[in-house]
Amino acid sequence: VDTVRMPGGRETRREIVEHSDCVAIVAIDADDKVLLVKQFRKAVEKELLEIPAGGIDPGEDPVAAVRRELQEETGYLPRKVERLGGFYSTPGYGTEYLHLYLAADLVPSQLHAEDTGSIEVVAVALSEISSLIASGDICDAKSIAGLPIFMEYEKVFNYPSFEDCKKILDERMERKTKLRMYAYEITGQKVDEKTIKKGFIEEIENQIEREMTKIKEQIIKDKLKRFEIIIREVQDAVHSTYLRAWNGQERRTLRQHTQITEVVGNHPTPLTKHNKGVLGRFRG
């Protein structure tokens, strides 16, 4: 119990609980699920669903404490441990500071789990965490603070599963194989892994794009040429039709005037100079 002088000069008494630092652990298993522990808490007289946690022993490194506590509470040892942050759990009356860590790539422990009465390990999908917090099934401060911190971390750093990594690698290998084929078709040169790592992929992609542009331009040119040919063919057809029609009209006119000439020629009436000129144009 401490006596505290407030800024206004008033003195008051505060009960302070001094506590060593602790670790809180977000443990991710091979199925990308969070390992939670369900245990009875005497202070609140009920079972709580929490992330694993525990005190740091004097002189102990926080990472070592993470491995020890996770092994004791879940029976797993993490191959990957990464700090996510930290916070005071109850700054209103306690000094406890929680170091938050991510534990992944878990392997079964050779040691027995801690004998704490009855601790049940529960694997929960990340997609269920928000609803469990909203419903009150997860209601302790370290879990409500620690789990969302990890979920934000996962969004930023995109912590992938083994299956996701394998899928990404397969897609990259397939892409490299296709690029090698394109490179060989375009350049006639085989492309090895070393050349690809030097940035040849970008050059091949640019070359493919340039070739596609050339092909598109050639297609447009071919279409324009075909269009010009069609126009010329139509023009020739119209011109030929016009000539045929003109020639046919000349022949019909000539036949008509030939008949007139013959009739007039058999007529006793003498032809005038004008008549001879007209008929002469048609006969000649």
What CATH number corresponds to the domain at position 35? 3.90.79.10
Q: Which tokens belong to 180? A: 């090698």
Instruction: Determine the angle formed by the axes of helices 141-157 and 126-135, rounding to 10 degrees.
Output: 150
Question: What amino acid is encoded at 230 in this protein?
Answer: I
Query: Could you tell me if 124 and 34 are in contact, meaning their C-beta atoms sit under 8 angstroms apart?
Result: yes
pLDDT score for 247: 61
Specify if 15 maps to a domain.
Answer: no
Q: Pairing mode, if any, of strands 11-14 and 22-28?
A: unpaired
Specify if 115 maps to a domain.
Answer: yes
pLDDT score for 160: 56
pLDDT score for 13: 85
pLDDT score for 88: 93
Q: Where are the alpha helices (DSSP H) in 189-200?
A: 193-195
**How many H helices and E strands in the chain?**
7, 9
Q: Which tokens belong to 203? A: 């050059």
pLDDT score for 152: 84
Specify if 6 maps to a domain.
Answer: no
pLDDT score for 121: 93
Task: Provide CB contacts within 8 A for 102, sequence distance 6+.
Answer: 25, 26, 28, 80, 81, 82, 83, 84, 150, 153, 159
Task: Provide CB contacts within 8 A for 125, sequence distance 6+.
Answer: 32, 33, 34
Specify if 208 maps to a domain.
Answer: no
What is the number of structural domains in the chain? Answer: 1
Residue listed under structure tokens 């045929």: 244
pLDDT score for 105: 92
Residue listed under structure tokens 């899928």: 167
Q: How many CB atoms lie within 10 A of CB 103?
A: 27
Q: Range of 52's domain?
A: 20-157
Mean pLDDT by groups of 10 residues along the chain of 284 residues:
81 88 96 94 94 95 96 93 93 92 90 64 94 95 93 68 66 71 62 56 66 70 70 68 60 50 44 43 41
Instruction: Write a three-state SS string for 238-261.
Output: HHHHHHHHHHHHHHHHHHHHHHHH
DSSP 94: B
Specify if 236 maps to a domain.
Answer: no
Specify if 56 maps to a domain.
Answer: yes
CA atoms of 242 and 224, how far apart (whole Å): 27
For residues 162-193, b (16+ Cβ closer than 10 Å) or e, as one string? eeeeeeeeeeeeeeeeebbebbeeeeeeebee
Specify if 231 maps to a domain.
Answer: no
92 three-state secondary structure: coil
Q: How many CB atoms lie within 10 A of CB 29?
A: 16
pTM over the 0.75 mark: no
pLDDT score for 120: 92
Specify if 200 maps to a domain.
Answer: no
- In the Cβ-directed half-sphere of 53, how many Cα atoms lie within 13 Å? 25
